[in-house]
Amino acid sequence: VQLQASGGGLVQAGGSVSLSCAASGGSFSGYVTGWFRQAPGKEREFVAAISWSGGSTYYADSVKGRFTIFRDNTKNTVYLQMYSLIPEDTAAYYCAASRLMSTTKLGYEYWGQGTQVTVSS
């Protein structure tokens, strides 16, 4: 399974950005998809995750109420809609796939490349 993240860019504080994670090259069926982010000099941290059915979602406290994760399995794509962005959201955002729900990066076996989100103050 290959994951392709896209949609990052430069946005002003208070703005919004939508990220996409498209899967290809194998069956994505049954996989949990998570989003993580990594700022310069910091550890990669969990942002959000969604079950295969979309019925279960989890968010880091820092993004709860501002970010929404959802998926379209007909397109093999998971989205992260980010609202009310703050400079602290600036990071490279990575999507990942896991067979089990997890909020730690150790649980994910497939990773996409990062897409940069920069929030200016």
Are residues 45 and 37 in contact, defined by beta-carbon separation less than 8 angstroms?
yes
Distance CA 45, CA 38 (A): 6
Residue 29: pLDDT band (50, 70, 90) is confident
26 has a pLDDT exceeding 90: no
107 has a pLDDT exceeding 90: no
pLDDT by residue (tens digit) across 30-59? 999 999 999 999 999 999 999 999 999 999
The whole-angstrom distance between residue 100's C-alpha and the CA centroid of its chain comes to: 16
